[in-house]
Copies of this chain bind each other. A is one copy, B any other.
Amino acid sequence: MIRYLKKSKLFSGFDDESLEGMLTAVSMKSVTKGEIIFYEKDPAPAFFIVGTGKVKIFKISPEGKEQILMIASEGDSFAEAALFGGGKYPATSQAMTDGKLLVIHRDRFISIIERDPAIALNLIARLSHLLHKLNKLVEELSLSDINTRLAHYFINIVEEKNLSENDPILITLSEKKTVLASQLGTIPETLSRSFKKLSKEKVIAVNGADVTVVDLDKLYKFAGE
């Protein structure tokens, strides 16, 4: 388990001694593809770190439309915030693949951070980061149309790659387009049209899950920057 803790964004950087102190609060859970880890509004006695596999956290409307809040991959933690707020999970979580999760139990974890401010600071940083991302999601949902959101999505990926001048910019989508639609707050049909629009405008070229950014300047213009 220590190995997974070290790989996690929340606890990397701590020495073995601190991490062993953590172990009293941690257990392990295997999940299979499609398994629901928790439902929205379930009581929240623990939060999670992904050891292996991939998990989606999402909300669902009465009509069945789904809004993905995040996709957690190896090393990501999720549902940390549930420990302190109302004590209920604010969204539903489902395994997208088979995998292993670290389960961090609430009460024991709290007594640990009461003693170790460094862990508390890490948690604070992590929560801040989440706030930042949600902030951005709100902004996009309420102020941008879909083409803009899709352009932003590509820009984020491109900027993370920090590749050198004049490299061809090839992106392979890490999710099915259906899933991407739900992340962007829309439905597959609309997303498909948005892809078509950006293609027709010669901003990107699409071939299945492979997207090439043809005109980066135009991409930024679409994103409104």
Contacts and interface: CB of A to CB of B under 8 A. Distances in A.
A21 interface: no
Given A127-B128, A138-B59, A143 B85 contact: no
A117 interface: yes
A87 to B, nearest CB: 10
A131 B131 contact: yes
Contacts of A8: none
Interface in A50-94: 59-62, 65, 67, 69, 80-86, 90-91
Given A81-B131, A114-B117, A69 B138 contact: yes
A143 B86 contact: no
Interface string A105-119: 000001001111110
A137 interface: yes
A141 B144 CA distance: 12
Contacts of A185: 141-142
A135 interface: yes
Interface of A is mostly: helix
A contact residues, range: 35 or more
Q: How many copies of this chain sit in the oligomeric assembly?
A: 2
A108 B59 CA distance: 38
A132 interface: yes
Contacts of A114: 117-118, 121
Interface in A141-166: 141-144
A135 B62 CA distance: 17
Given A138-B69, A138-B138, A139-B59, A120 B131 contact: no
B144 A86 contact: no
